Structure 1
Amino acid sequence: MADSSHIVILGIGNLLWADEGFGVRAVEALHAGWQWPAEVELVDGGTQGLALLPIVQAASHLLILDAIDAGLAPGELAVFADDAVPAYLTAKKMSLHQTGFAEVLALAELSGQSPCRLALVGVQPVELEDYGGSLTAPVRAQLPLALARALDILAGWGVYPAARQAPAADGLHDASLALLPYEAGRPSAEAACRVGDARVLAQGEG
Structure 2
Amino acid sequence: MNHPLNRLVECVVLGAGGHSLSVIDAILGGDRLRPVAIVDQREETWGTFVLGVPGIGNDEQLVRLRQRGVTSFVNGIGSSRSTALRKRLFLGAQSSGFSSESVIHPSSIVSTSAHCGVGAQLMARSVVGPNARLAENVLVNTGAIVEHDCRIGAHTHLASGVVLAGGVTVGQDVHVGAGAIVIQGICIGERAVIAAGAVVVHDVAADEVVMGVPAKKSRSVAA
The TM-score, its normalising length taken from structure 1, stands at 0.29
Greater helix proportion: 1
The TM-score, its normalising length taken from structure 2, stands at 0.27
Greater strand proportion: 2
* Greater RCO, CA 8 A, separation 6+: 1
